[in-house]
């Protein structure tokens, strides 16, 4: 049973061995090695209850606790609406083949969403690790480092941009697109191992066909690269946007015009951001 988090419904916390892995202003995220409904014996899982969420499969429970500062009726309505909205978006994307955690169940009145746990590291951490490895290998040779980044990081960032394009092509805006909300899941094809980008945390996501909203999504991610990988952020964002533009709509005629419009809007959003920075 999880301790120290009294807001989690006891019917849930008593039944499953839950480990809290994230706590934000809006939601708490828990890991469980046990499926919420199907006995482990039927699944054939070998995951144990003390397995770390960082290196196993398993399941994620996202919980929106009551907000005592809000009126109880309004709080219940908001919790129900936001939980249902996130669940619908997650399920829609999963059915469309976008790489997101698979949806298991939702209890909107209690603010609970069950989903698959993704076995992989965040894009932020993965890039930090690769940069450290490259620096150790090249001994200060900047040209060699640039070639290594081109070989190792570029294919992954192209793939990430491609996946975000699939999200936007379905008119879903993430709302909090950062390098922490993009995971890289190891996969094997024949003898070769590669990384699949997976998009997580749709708590602020919404349906929108506006190019402006998609441009803001990309701008938020661009700023995340600038803050977490400042030395090479321009290079990384360039590769990611290359993947985005080539992956948007898979070259469909109407998609070509749409992605050009999004890129134009992105430039306008950047300009507004620079003006805010100058004004302070």
In the chain, how long is the greatest CA-to-CA distance? 62
Catalytic site includes residue 201:
no
Q: Which of 75, 176, 196, 242 is catalytic?
A: 176
CA distance 241 to 248: 10
Three-state SS sequence of the chain: CCCCCCCCCHHHHCCCCEEEEEECCCCEEEEECCCCCCCHHHHCCCCCCCCCCCCCCCEEEEECCCCCCCCHHHHHHHHHHHHHHHHHHHHHHHHHCCCCCCEEEEECCCCEEEEECCCCEEHHHHHHHHHHHHHHHHCCCHHHHHHHHHHHHHHHHHHHHHHHHHHHHCCEECCCCCCCCEEEEEEEECCEEEEEEEECCCCCCEECCCHHHHHHHHHHHHHHHHHHCCCCHHHHHHHHHHHHHHHHHHHCHHHHHHHHHHHHHHHHHHHHHHHHHHHC
Which sequence positions are flagged as catalytic?
176
């Amino acid at each position: 049973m999880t301790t120290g988090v009294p807001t989690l419904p006891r019917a849930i916390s008593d039944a499953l061995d839950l480990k809290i892995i994230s706590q934000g202003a809006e939601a708490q995220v828990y890991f469980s090695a046990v499926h919420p409904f199907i006995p482990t014996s039927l699944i054939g899982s070998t995951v144990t209850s003390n397995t770390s969420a960082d290196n196993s499969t398993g399941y994620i429970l996202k919980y929106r606790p009551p907000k005592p500062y809000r009126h109880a009726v309004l709080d219940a309505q908001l919790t129900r609406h936001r939980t249902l909205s996130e669940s619908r978006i997650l399920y829609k994307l999963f059915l469309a083949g976008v790489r997101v955690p698979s949806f298991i169940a939702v209890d909107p009145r209690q603010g609970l969403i069950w989903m698959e746990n993704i076995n992989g590291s965040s894009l932020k951490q993965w890039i930090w690790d690769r940069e450290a490895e490259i620096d150790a290998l090249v001994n200060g040779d900047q040209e060699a480092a640039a070639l290594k980044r081109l070989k190792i990081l570029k294919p992954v960032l192209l793939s990430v941009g491609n996946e975000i394009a699939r999200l936007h092509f379905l008119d879903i805006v993430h709302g909090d697109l950062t390098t922490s909300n993009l995971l890289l899941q190891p996969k094997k094809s024949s003898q070769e191992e590669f990384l699949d980008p997976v998009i997580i945390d749709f708590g602020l996501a919404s349906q929108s066909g506006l190019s402006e909203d998609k441009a803001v999504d990309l701008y938020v991610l661009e700023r995340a690269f600038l803050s977490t990988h400042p030395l090479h952020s321009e290079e990384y964002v360039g590769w990611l946007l290359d993947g985005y533009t080539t992956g948007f709509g898979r070259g469909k005629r109407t998609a070509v015009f749409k992605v050009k419009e999004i890129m134009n809007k992105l430039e306008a959003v950047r300009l507004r951001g620079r003006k805010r920075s100058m004004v302070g």
